[in-house]
Amino acid sequence: MGFLTAEEKGLVNGLWGKVNVDEVGGEALGRLLVVYPWTQRFFQSFGDLSSADAIMGNSKVKAHGKKVLNSFSDGLKNIDDLKGAFAKLSELHCDKLHVDPENFRLLGNVLVCVLAHHFGHEFNPQVQAAFQKVVAGVASALAHRYH
Provide the 10 A C-beta neighbour count for residue 63: 15
Residue 99 or 116 with smaller CB distance to another protein: 116
Q: What would you measure as the largest C-alpha separation in the chain, in angstroms?
A: 46
Interface residue with another protein among 63, 94, 99, 113 (CB under 8 A) is 113
Q: Does 30 bind another protein (CB under 8 A)?
A: yes
Best CA proximity match to 145, nearest among 113, 74, 76, 97: 97
| CA atoms within 13 A of residue 145's CA, in its CB half-sphere | 18
* Beta carbons of 35 and 70 less than 8 angstroms apart: no
Instruction: Pick the binder of another protein from 60, 118, 144, 145 (CB under 8 A).
Output: 118
Does 97 help bind another protein (rule: CB under 8 A)?
no
User: Binding of another protein at residue 52 (CB under 8 A)?
Assistant: yes
Binding site for another protein (CB under 8 A): 30-31, 34-35, 52, 55-56, 109, 112-114, 116-121, 123, 125-126, 128-129, 132
